[in-house]
Amino acid sequence: MRVGVIVTEVGRGIGGRYTFQEMLLAAVERARPSTRHEFVIHRAGWNRYAEGPLAWKARRLATVGATLALRAVHDVQDALVGTRLVHVATPLERRLEADAIDLVWFPTYVEDVSLPYVCQVFDLEHRMKPWFPEVSRHGEWEHRERHYRRYLPKATRVIVAGETGREQVSRFFGVPPENCLPLKHPTPDFALAAAQRKPQPVESVTALGIRQPYLLYPGQFWAHKNHAAALDALAELRGRGEDLSLVLVGSDKGQRGLVEAQVRERGLDDAVLILGYVEEEQLVSLYQHAHALLYLSRFGPENLPPLEAFALGCPVVVADVPGAAEQVGEAGIVVDPDDTAAVADAVQRLNAAKERARLVKAGQARAGEWTADDYLAGLIAFLDEFERERRLWR
């Protein structure tokens, strides 16, 4: 089959979606010689530098405007008539038809197409925890709800991270469980590659003003990242005599000022270092020399930092949100993020050399089990199966 892969312009500052999309595109290139399916990449907005900023903006505005106008035409027909008497192809549909695409794969987003399509659900936290501002303010909850109701029930397959994701998609949006395709989030390529090289020297972190031993929390400053729980755990540990510091990395999404105030309130100014956004090489070094990854996000079901830490030999302490235990298994310590004493206990478990070595070894094995190539192999297995259906029409 000819598979249209629709990728959009995602910057590094977006976080996990940038990493996810980039490693899947690399996996597609590696898989080309070994699969009978042909992957055709459609890049939305990726010519902005070649075209120049003004030309890119004009073209992007025209494309988005046409797509929204046609969507409105379809929505009116759906609401008033109950069917689409007139279907006008969107700019994307015209491109797919010109390329004779049989099935469309949306790795990070989805839009209207008449062809069979596969899309990804990263989380449904607007349903699980609708009180967080990042999933509720300024119409965000309504936007997400409309989006998923529009696209998930019609999808040929909805890719989910595991059984937790399958259950949530089925429960909230009525998608038959068999129409969900569980594919584990792959360990980021940059972490796997770095694990094969000699570790960076400790000076790469001490030069940043970091005092060892330290806990690492990589996460953009959203409310759901629950930095307050990490600060509480640090205060508890220092109260127990542990001379630990905490390093926070990630771009500001509106809550950094609050976190800085919470640091001052707890008297942790000398124990917390906020680096903001860091490049991958710096992040690798931070993982390699950390006492542990302390990842207490309220959102799931899966997150990339535990996989990055596993690959780079960093022990993992992660919040017990739905899907976390499924992701880390016996390779990480899963704790109630609201139980400060339990979080501190988990960190102190890593003082035992034998336990630390066990977790590091298990984590490295876990990271190697789930790669971008494994993810793509799961998708290709579905394509092989679906080909029997797709041959029945043109």
* CA terminus-to-terminus distance, the chain: 12
**Res. 353: pLDDT tops 70:** yes
- In which element (H, E) is residue 333 found? strand 333-335
Span 189-369 CATH architecture: 3-Layer(aba) Sandwich (3.40)
Q: Can you give the pLDDT at residue 17? A: 76
Q: Can you give the pLDDT at residue 18? A: 79
Whether a cis peptide bond, with omega within 30° of 0, leads into 213 is yes
- The mean per-residue pLDDT over the stretch 99-118 comes to 95
Confidence of residue 76 (pLDDT cuts 50, 70, 90): low
Give the lowest-confidence range in 72-76, 132-136, 204-208, 265-269: 72-76
- The mean per-residue pLDDT over the stretch 352-380 comes to 97
Q: Which two tokens stand for residue 274?
A: 């906020």
- The mean per-residue pLDDT over the stretch 91-117 comes to 94
**Res. 142: pLDDT tops 90:** yes
Confidence of residue 11 (pLDDT cuts 50, 70, 90): low
Query: Domain locations in the chain?
Result: 2-186+372-390, 189-369
> How far from chain centre, in Å, is Cα 376?
16
**Res. 386: pLDDT tops 80:** yes
Q: Which residues does residue 276 pair with via DSSP β-bridges, in sequence order?
A: 249
For 284-314, the pLDDT digits (tens) are 999 999 999 999 999 998 899 999 999 999 9
The answer to whether 316 and 363 have CB atoms below 8 angstroms apart is yes
Confidence of residue 8 (pLDDT cuts 50, 70, 90): confident
CA distance 52 to 30: 31
Q: Can you give the pLDDT at residue 19? A: 81
Q: Which two tokens stand for residue 155?
A: 């999808």
Q: Can you give the pLDDT at residue 87? A: 67
Indicate the pTM of the whole model: 0.86
Tell me the pLDDT of the chain averaged across its residues.
Answer: 91
Superfamily of domain 2-186+372-390: Glycogen Phosphorylase B; (3.40.50.2000)
Domains 2-186+372-390 and 189-369 share a fold: yes
